[in-house]
Structure 1
Amino acid sequence: MDLSDAALLLVAGLAAGTVNAVAGGGSLITFPALIATGLPPVPANVSNSVSVFPGYVASVVGSRLDLPHGRKLWGLLPTAVLGTVVGCVLLLATPARAFEVVVPFLVLGATAVLAFQDPLRRLVGHPADLSPRRRTVTVQAMVGLGAVYGGYFGAALGVMLVAGLALVLDATLARVSAIKNLLSAVVGLTTVVIFSLFGPVNWAAVAVVAPATLIGGYAGARLVRRLPPVVLKTVIVVFGTVIGLYLLWRALR
């Protein structure tokens, strides 16, 4: 890695950490940057997953005041770990091409769910109107599916988590974003452990990108607390749409 490669990864890491805290999808900044430095796709994907973890942790610290208290939040963490393990195993054991084709539609679908959140709530029922058991099962299912996706690919994980959780939780978008940050950090930690043991991690790249995502993640989380809900929702929807269309173009070219 030469100086220009290091500079590229540093800038990409700062941007990705900020974007992950605000809207999710920052991995789509660092992943192409890692490819541009000469890494093959799978090592780049694995190294990317390890690199963005510190940014997730910083986002949790920055948004900690918006996190709810109680056992229900911590009850989501084992589901996130289990889902991530499944996703990591899929990445390491199966061809990536089939999932690459599916990913854009998952991202665009998640973005559409967030964009049309109110009509969908009228259709499926507001979270406050659901029974406690049904609400718990629905939230756990959303977290599990998001974690599987995060373990496999990870890009736009934040968009998918926010979209799913905003549909099934009766909470402000800032609180949903804080929960997303915590779950993303758990997913990130799990991928770090698994890929460190079994994945082709490029540790030189990680050493450059990871500290940059740490700084960007904290700054982005502080920014979220200052954004009005309508602005935050618009940013996430726009960014998710751009990510989905980019992934679709990349998969079909």
Structure 2
Amino acid sequence: MELWEAVVVLLAGVAAGGVNAVAGSGTLFTFPVLLALGYPPITATISNSVGLAPGTLSGTLAYRRELAGQRARLLRLGSMSFLGAVTGALLLIYLPPGVFESVVPFMIGAACVLIVLQPRITRWVHARGPVRKDGGPLLPVGTYATGVYGGYFAAAQGIILMSVLGTALDDDIQRLNALKNALATIVNGTAAVFYIVLASPAWPVVGLLAAGTVMGGHLGARFGRRLSPTALRVCLVLVGLSAAVQLLMGRV
């Protein structure tokens, strides 16, 4: 790897770490860069997932204040994220490439719609009766499904998680964003272990992405905490739509 290539990968990692801490879809910064540098799609996906894992942890630690009081949620939903990540990682390793990516843009689009409609959905749920503190039985199912998605192809995992959490739980959006970061850390970390053991990451890429995402995750968390709920929701939708457009263009 030449010096300029290393600099590009590092900067892409910083951008991805920052976006992942605030919203999600950081993969859409790094994955195209690795493809442009000549890495095969599967190698790029695996190396990208392993390299982004430290960045999501950095974002989670920066949001630890907002995680206070959410231990029960994290344990319950974290176990579902773990199981989903195991499923998704095995799918990536053993299924033909492109099987899951064909539906990814539409999943991201649906997540953006949920984020836009979240306040209205919340009001409708409140009108029907008290909101369950645990989010109801569908929340663990949605968390598991998002874990499968994140373990296979992590782009916009945070967008989908935020739409699921925001629809099911009545809580401050910054606290939900902190919970999202923690769940994404579980998914990315679990998938990374599987890829290290069962696949062959490009380790120079992994190192550069890890360093970049740690820096970006810390900076992104500091910026994201200052956003109002409306501004953060707009940011989530814009990043999600950008991710969907990039994926659709990549299929053309």
Fold similarity call, TM over 0.5: yes
- Displacement, 1:121? 3.3
What is the CA–CA distance in structure 1 between the aligned matches of 2:76 and 2:102, rounded to whole Å?
Answer: 32
Shift of 1:48: 0.3
Classify 1:123/1:129 alpha carbon distance in 2 versus 1 (closer, same or farther; 3 Å): same
Aligned twin of 1:67: 67
**Aligned AA for 1:195?**
Y
2:188 aligned residue = 188
* Structure 1 equivalent of residue 203 of structure 2: 203
Map 1:1-253 onto structure 2 (within 5 A).
Answer: 1-69=1-69, 70-123=71-124, 129-131=130-132, 135-251=135-251, 253=252
Change (3 A) 1:12 1:128: farther
Query: For each residue in 1:208-251, what CA deviation from the matched residue of structure 2 results, as whole angstroms up to 9, or x when unmatched?
Result: 11111001001101111111111111011111111112212212
Structure 2 Cα separation of the partners of residues 125 and 249 of structure 1: 39
Q: What displacement does 1:71 show?
A: 2.1
Q: How far did 1:138 drift?
A: 2.1
Shift of 1:98: 2.8
Identity over aligned residues, as a percent?
37
Which deviations, in whole Å up to 9, do the C-alpha atoms of 1:57-107 show, x marking residues without a partner? 110111110014232321211111100000011111112223121000001
Contact 2:136 2:168 in 1 (8 A): no
Distance 1:8 1:44 in 2: 15
SS of match in other structure, 2:99: helix
Gaps of 5+ in 1: none
C-alpha separation between the residues in 1 aligned to 2:93 and 2:195?
9
The alpha carbon displacement at 1:139 in A equals 1.8
Superposed displacement of residue 128, structure 1: 7.0
Question: 1:150 Cα deviation (Å)?
Answer: 0.3
Equivalent AA in structure 2 for residue 63 of structure 1: Y
SS across alignment from 2:100: helix
**CA shift in 2, pair 1:89/1:227, >3 Å:** same
Equivalent position amino acid for 1:112 in 2: V
Is contact 2:133–2:170 with CA below 8 Å preserved after alignment?
no
Name the CA shift for 1:94/1:115 in 2 (closer, same or farther; >3 Å). same
With over 3 angstroms needed to count, the CA separation of the structure-2 counterparts of 1:202 and 1:116, relative to structure 1, is same
Aligned length: 251
TM-score by length of 2: 0.95
Could you say what secondary structure the match of 2:219 adopts?
helix
RMSD in angstroms over aligned alpha carbons?
1.7
- Asked if structure 1 preserves the Cα contact closer than 8 Å seen for 2:125 and 2:131, the reply is no
TM-score, length basis structure 1: 0.94
CA distance in 1, matches of 2:127, 2:58: 32
* Letter of the 1:98 counterpart: V
Code of the aligned partner of 1:140: P
Report the Cα distance in structure 2 between the residues aligned to 1:214 and 1:129, rounded to whole angstroms: 39
Work out whether residues 108 and 245 of structure 1, in 8 Å CA contact, stay in contact via their aligned partners in 2: no
Q: Give the deviation of 1:205 after TM superposition.
A: 0.7
Q: Report deviation, 1:124.
A: 5.4
